[in-house]
Chains A and B, each alone.
Chain A
């Protein structure tokens, strides 16, 4: 019932039956855009509530529990509040860039949705350079953050944006190398190929220790890339009040806030796709009965389950660790993570050439 496998082909067939091909394509575009936007809104609501509930659980308190059953509509109420609020623009700010910045950050999130396979045969654009596309587009978000920091005409914002620039540019390398290990194992940049390669086992199990190392590196790097604690230096509340979005209020702030959660979702979705087999069910060797039962769970549930597990992991980090200092952050990347990931990539290349992986 929850399987989305047939939906895309059904819709396409129906459209082609009713309209001419150009019209059908245009209709498909509209449907995809609407779906992407509603997914954004939904994810924002769900993830913000999830973060608050996870935080509350870790911090021995209840979290939101007044608006709706179990506080389910708390984020809806928050969104309404943010929409009502006046969006202030500082007096001496660069108004054009100031207004543009949140949209740039949001746009990056939207573009990144394209190659993600949400379920079997449920993907917006199965581009043949999928992984390359993801790593190149995701690095654009730093432009939005730098724009916000620069245009605000606020020293805290500027410091936050500069930190963010240094941080994202550095950690992009580790994340890239971690992704490359899987590309080396699969031999393809295409997301659907990567998922298909994990049909009889996920890479984290099949790829020996290098895959596990790559996964750990990936999680650390994307936590830093999404500006989450313990790497939330760009907004470092106790140091820079709110960092790059200090001057933002109302809906413009909400866009930054939403973009943060969308980015978390996307990096976790990519992590789930690369290391945990995306929508592939858990298959263990030749346990036919077990594999058969696992196949009954719809692919969309598998994908979302894995993604939300990784999201939970990242939230867990945030509510446990203190923040790193800026020089420690850069040391960690350039002195530890980058050499390890280079060596790991070499190791994986050897394994892939000799065919040692399962």
Chain B
């Protein structure tokens, strides 16, 4: 009843191929955009910004990136943390060399640099597959983190090995650094996420996205019907790394402000959680990337609230409980719904189509 598509006729190919072919989807999406752009910026405070919204947006971007590579092209990667570090450190180096450059351009250039690094580490994917490739991408993770930790040029020879962001303006309002107001950092991330999200969605619907999926489903068959594996796999690595690099740049410049590479881009803090996001959200689904990011970002906050504030545990014990519950939830999720939250959403849509009249 609520989600009924009957009576919505398409009279042109253009309307048939729209991203949101149903009027309900259009309304839902427009409402979401309206709330995101015109309501939240006025009510946002520093807690919501730092704890939920900005990390959610940044991790959505990283999840989209990994989903392009793993969900759409079928190349499992565990090197997300390393690639995010490339984005962060490129931003830092460009910022110090070009003090007058616009922050948006800096972040996009960092994404491009990460794309280059991604192509480099994507080369082995032409020879190896599956778990062998997953382990090979771990090489990227460890090598890159080691590089940024041990080569002083990358952190400008600072004593602590930390990199710190300087203040940058966008339309006269600071978006990075300590004095940036919550709405500015939020809107800055939101604009990037919406633009890049649409770009990704359209890439996936185009020829290049279809060739990724062909390679994912069966690479030999794809090769035989004329999909070039070299170009396809490397383009997936490049575009995926671009998104992850932008996410890393935002993570450093907008979200944290100061980072220490071994802590912030560790395999346990970035690579695995982002992989969880796309698996919990749904492999090969744009919506899934967002749902997964929302789930993983809010879960620890919810658990902490229940255990520390309601039950009254000490922070250390709560942390241990959190790890345990995290692991258990992960297993339960994989058992109950291996196709992720996106699949649950499509089941819900199916139900909503008929509800409340079953026939």
Chains A and B come from one and the same complex: no
Q: Which residues of B contact A (CB under 8 A)?
A: none
Q: Which residues of A contact B (CB under 8 A)?
A: none
